[in-house]
Amino acid sequence: MNNPKVVTVLSGAAALYFAFSIFGGTEAPSSTLSTLNWIFFILALIGCVDSLYKLAKGL
């Protein structure tokens, strides 16, 4: 995926999904699932910020 616009949309959607599963869940997940949710949420945010940076720089 070399297109930063596509990466922005996909990582933003993934970040929203993981944010909903972390903060909007009605029942508590296991500690392993909670850890994985946080890891993937942070990685999705990093990908989104990086692609926004590339879009701003025109790369």
> Could you read off the pLDDT tens digit of each residue along the chain, which spans 59 residues?
678 889 899 999 999 999 998 888 778 888 999 899 999 999 999 999 999 999 998 86
What does the pLDDT read at residue 2? 77
9, 39 in Cβ contact below 8 A? no
What does the pLDDT read at residue 51? 92
What does the pLDDT read at residue 27? 82
14, 40 in Cβ contact below 8 A? yes
Give one DSSP letter per residue of 18-53, joined into a string.
HHHHHHS-SSPPPHHHHHHHHHHHHHHHHHHHHHHH
What does the pLDDT read at residue 26? 78
Whole-number Å distance between alpha carbons of 59 and 49: 14
Q: What is the pTM of this model?
A: 0.83
What does the pLDDT read at residue 50? 92
